[in-house]
Amino acid sequence: MAKIGVLGAGGWALGLAILLNNNGHKVTVLSKVREELEGIRAEVENKKSLPGVKIPSEIELCDDLNRVVRESELLVMAVASPYVRSTSGEIARSGRKGLRIVNVAKGIEEKTLMTMTGIIKEEIGENADVAVLSGPSHAEEVSRGIPTTCVIGADSKEFAEYLQNIFMSEVFRVYISPDVLGIELGGSLKNVIALAAGIADGLGYGDNTKAALITRGIHEIARLGVAMGGKLQTFYGLSGMGDLIVTCASMHSRNRRAGILLGQGRTMDEAMKEVHMVVEGVYSAKAALELAVKYNVEMPIVENVNSVLFDNANPSEKVKELMLRDRKIENPDLPWET
C-alpha cells in the first residue's frame, strides 16, 4: 500500500483517486477550493465534474497542500493544465526532497510552449522524479470500473514500473514507455483536433468527415511530435491515435462538446461557459500553432481551429478551405511502379 496525494478534485482527479483506492492505496484528495470540498463532503460526489459517482469514504479530502506533499509517497498532478505551474511552485516551496510525481494533466503552456512535465521539472528542479500518464481514459468510465488502457512515460524504467504497479488493475491496464515527450504531445494536441471534430458535428457533418479529421489529425500530430523529438510509434499508440479516437468520438469529451457549440454558432467564450469545465484544447491551440511555425511543420487543421477560436472565422468556410487545399499524395514516401 502506498500513500498517494491526488492534487485536484475534478472528474479525472476523482476517477483516479477511486481507482487507486480500489487498488488498496491510502489516497488523499487535495482541493484549495473550499466550496468544492464542502460540496463533495455533503453530496459524497462532485456533482459538477463527476455526477453520479460516489466517493468512497476511505478517500480523505484535504485543503492543506503542504500536509499532502509532506505525507505522500507519490503525488498525482491532476489539476487543469493552466494551474500546473502555480501548483508546482507551491510544491517546490514546501521544501520536500525526493518527490515522485506523475502528471495526468494534458496541455501545452501558451507563453513558454512547454509540456506539463517540463513545467513541473522547471519549478521543482532536481527534487522530484516526474512521469506522465495518458491515453484514452474518460473519468466517467474509469471511475465506474469500465476496462481502460493507458500508458505511463518516465525517464527511468524503474520509476515507470513502480507506477505501473501502483495503477494497474483488472480494469485498468497500464503500458510503459520512455517517450515522455511524445506521450505528452499526443495527449495535448489531440484536444485541438477534437475541437475540429466537434465543430464538424455542430455543422451537421457525418462519419466520413470525422474519419477524415481523425486520420489527417494524427498525421499533423505525428509530424510535429517527431520534429520536436518524439517517437513516431508513440503517436500511433495509446496516447496518440487511441486518445484521439476517444476524444473525437465521445460526448464525455469537453473538447468535442465545445467544438459542437462552436459549429452551432457560439463564440469561444460562450462555448467554454456552457461546457462548465476547462477546455484544454483552447489553451493548447495557440501553442500548437506556434510550435508548427517554430518547427516548420504544416498543420492545416490546427491552423483553421485557431481561426475559428480567435479570429471569429466561419466554421463552414474553414471546412471548405481544408477540402480545397492543393492536391496531395497521401504518402509521399511510397514509390510509384510506373
The partner residues of 182 in beta bridges, in order of sequence, read: none
CA 14 to chain centre: 15
Choose, from 106, 121, 157, 190, the residue flagged as catalytic. Answer: 190
**CA nearest to 100, candidates 141, 159, 44:** 159
Strand-pair category, 148-153 with 128-134? antiparallel
Cβ–Cβ under 8 Å, residues 81 and 105: yes
Query: Which sign does the torsion angle of CA 84, 89, 90, 96 carry?
Result: positive
**CA nearest to 124, candidates 193, 157, 64, 75:** 75
Please give the Cα distance from 194 to 65 (Å, whole number). Answer: 33
Strand-pair category, 3-7 with 74-77? parallel
Cβ–Cβ under 8 Å, residues 194 and 259: yes
Q: Is 190 a catalytic residue?
A: yes
Task: Show which residues are catalytic.
Answer: 190
